[in-house]
Amino acid sequence: DILPSSRRVRVEIDGVTVADSINGSFLHETGLPTRYYLPKSDVRMDLLTLIVLLPLAGFFLNGLLGPRLGKGFVNVVGCGLPILAFFATLRAFTQLQAGEADAALAETAYTWATVGDFSFEIAFWFDRLSALMTLIVTGVGSLIHIYSTGYMKDDPSYARYFAYLNL
């Protein structure tokens, strides 16, 4: 269980404290592997969710408004939002680098249900491996979007192409 309270994070397993943290620094550790949870006040809790939602917003904007607002709008939305997702990934990566060697960022986007002490959540886990993959996907994906503006310039379904590319 993770029991956050303001700037303190305590990790307990079956009533035994595995790790206790104030301001992101662990005070007590056992032999069990621990993860680094940044306190809510030190990190934008919507950052990991933003990485996912920016390209999804591009899909909806280009799919619904792109054909009516033209190529300029499609270019800004189609290329701009994946680039913003890349910068959000860079920011999350720098926050991850500030942690310990086995650090990870955890963010709950939505709590679907709570039953007793157990909750079903839609959450994101951002460790070093997922950071590397997210940097590659958003970085290369942004370059593909930029290249596609010239490659698809005469296509009659320009907005639809960028809508699907944002997915």
Q: What is the pLDDT of residues 80-118, one digit of tens each?
A: 999 999 999 999 999 888 877 778 888 888 888 888 888
Q: pLDDT tens across 46-69, in order?
A: 789 999 999 999 999 999 999 999
In percent, how much of the chain has pLDDT > 70? Answer: 72
Confirm if 95 and 38 have CB atoms less than 8 A apart.
yes
Q: Tell me which of 28-32, 52-56, 100-104, 145-149 is least confident.
A: 28-32
pLDDT of residue 15: 56
pLDDT of residue 10: 57
Please name the amino acid found at residue 105.
L
Rounded to the nearest 5°, which phi and psi values hold at 85? Answer: -65, -35
Q: What pLDDT sits at residue 9?
A: 53
Asked if 7 and 39 touch (Cβ cutoff 8 Å), the reply is yes
Q: Are 51 and 142 in contact (CB under 8 A)?
A: no
CB 161 within 8 A of CB 150: no
Sole residue written with tokens 């679907």: 112
Beta-carbon contacts of residue 59 (< 8 Å; ≥ 6 apart)? 163, 164, 166, 167
- Among 17-21, 88-92, 134-138, where is mean pLDDT lowest? 17-21
Residue 114 corresponds to which amino acid?
T
β-pairing, 105-115 with 16-22?
A: unpaired
Confidence (pLDDT) at 6: 44
